[in-house]
């Protein structure tokens, strides 16, 4: 496979992975509906930066360390699972709080900065993403890729990750989803919290089974 075709295949595989439902999707959707469009876009930006990080470590082959050093991979799984459970607990505790559009919008830049870091940390907290990136790069990237690949792939990965989650943010922050959220905020937040906590527990459980 020539380098151009390999890059296209890698980006296609990463787009499919980004579109698969998971904690990143839930966090972006919840930020967009429950906070504001600006927060959703900031969270999407954080997801994109996280994707650039994973593409960088995949390009230099560091994913093989996670695959080879079992205890490190298991430790990262547990840490990622605990982080997702912590995020879920915060969402659950705030489920009963009334939703006020004015207060959310007025928070402005501070909320957007916080949403960015939540998006980035959520993306980085899942070691499976690192292994997924690494396996895709290892399977499709030529053994000795030309230099231009190292300059093209990170921004292309950012466009894939941030682009998809921007679509999610724009879709979920429109008027109708927001009105539905206001009417059912407590249930929506609790369902989202339960799903995120379940994903965190699944990470910890798979780490426990692998360690047995």
pLDDT digits (tens, 9 = 90+) for 10-32: 888 888 777 766 778 878 888 88
54-63, 148-157, 193-202: least confidently modelled range: 54-63
> How confident is the model over 137-150, as a mean pLDDT?
71
State mean pLDDT over 70-83: 70
Residue 190 and residue 181: Cα distance in Å, rounded? 12
CA distances from 15 to 46, 136, 176 (A): 16, 12, 27
Report pLDDT digits (tens) over 167-202.
Answer: 889 888 887 776 776 677 778 778 877 877 887 787
pLDDT at 42 over 80: yes
Instruction: Specify the range with the lowest mean pLDDT, choosing from 21-30, 102-111, 156-165, 182-191.
Output: 102-111
Predicted structure pTM score = 0.66
For residues 109 and 88, give the distance between their C-alpha atoms in angstroms, rounded to a whole number. 23
Q: What pLDDT is recorded for position 172?
A: 81
């Amino acid at each position: 496979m020539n380098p151009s075709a390999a890059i296209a295949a890698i980006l296609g595989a990463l787009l499919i992975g980004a579109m698969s439902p998971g904690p990143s999707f839930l966090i972006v959707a919840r930020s967009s509906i429950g906070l504001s469009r600006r927060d959703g876009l900031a969270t999407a930006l954080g997801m994109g930066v996280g994707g650039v990080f994973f593409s960088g470590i995949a390009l230099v082959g560091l994913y093989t360390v996670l695959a080879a050093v079992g205890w490190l991979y298991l430790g990262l799984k547990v840490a990622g699972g605990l982080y997702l459970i912590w995020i879920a607990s915060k969402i659950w505790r705030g489920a009963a709080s009334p939703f006020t559009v004015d207060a959310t919008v007025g928070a402005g830049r501070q909320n957007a900065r916080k949403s960015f870091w939540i998006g980035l940390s959520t993306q980085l907290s899942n070691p499976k993403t690192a292994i997924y990136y690494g396996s895709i790069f290892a399977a499709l990237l030529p053994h000795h890729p030309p230099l231009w690949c190292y300059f093209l792939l990170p921004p292309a990965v950012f466009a894939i990750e941030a682009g998809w989650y921007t679509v999610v943010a724009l879709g979920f922050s429109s008027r109708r989803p927001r009105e539905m959220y206001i009417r059912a905020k407590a249930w929506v937040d609790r369902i989202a919290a339960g799903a995120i906590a379940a994903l965190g527990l699944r990470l910890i459980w798979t780490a426990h089974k692998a360690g047995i």
